[in-house]
Amino acid sequence: MKRNTITVIMGCVLLAAALFAAQTYAVKVRTSALRSGPKFFASSLLNVKTGDGLLLLKREADWLQVKAPGGQVGWIHVSAVEPKKIDILAWNKSTKNQASATEVAMAAKGFNKQVESSYRARNKNISFVWVDKMARMAVGRAQLEAFLRQGRLGEFRGVK
């Protein structure tokens, strides 16, 4: 009996320790992906977007192995995320719904699209035509991989 009680107490303590030690992150870039390994050209497992919550499993240099609310495990570069407190016990609910009042206030504020529109209305001589064209000049991952492979660069150096 005494042994059972100790086991239950120990279990609870371990659970609490795990919850307190859990490090959680939120995606801070517009879009990114969880990858199958700690490198850019590892296959993409899950697309993620700004505000998505992730639970840290382990870290290797600048790469984090994380778990998404849906249970998918993958790697993401540290520059795509920021530490964020997330309710682990409500993990199965959408982490988007867990934003605090402060976060919501912050997200709705700041120098955003509305401020840019206002700036553009006041400065009609400043053209955004090429800025918008630049925004559309996205380099695809396959294209970039081919460029690196051809130039024997990055993960493909020394490969003929």
Partner 1 sequence: MTARRVSALALAALLFSFLLTSCSLFEQGRELLTEGNIKKAGQVAGVVRKTFADITEEEEYYIGRSVAALILSRYKVYNDPALNAYVNLLGNAVAAYSDRPEIYGGWRFLVLNTSEINALAAPGGFVFITRGLIRQCRDEEMLAAVLAHEIGHVAAKHGLKSIKKARLVEAFKMLGQEAAKKYTPQELSRLTIVFEDVLGDIAGSLIERGYDRKYEYEADTLSVKYALATGYHPGGLSDFLKSLAAQEGQTQAAGWFKTHPAAKDRLARVENRIKRIRDLPVRDSIRLNRFKRNYKG
Q: Which residues sit at the interface with partner 1, rule CB under 8 A?
A: 1, 4-5, 8-9, 12-13, 15-16, 19-20, 24, 28-30, 32, 40, 50, 62, 77, 79-80, 85-89, 98, 100-102, 104-106, 108-116, 118-119, 122-123, 125-128, 130-131, 134-135, 137-139, 143-144, 147-148, 150-154, 157
Distances (CA, A) of 95 to 63, 69, 98, 146: 22, 7, 5, 36
For residue 10, the minimal CB distance to partner 1 (Å) is 10
Coil, strand or helix at 45: strand
Q: Is 142 exposed, middle or buried (0-12, 13-18, 19+ CB in 10 A)?
A: exposed
Sign of CA dihedral 137, 34, 30, 27: negative
For residue 30, the minimal CB distance to partner 1 (Å) is 6
Nearest residue (CB) to partner 1, 70 versus 126 = 126
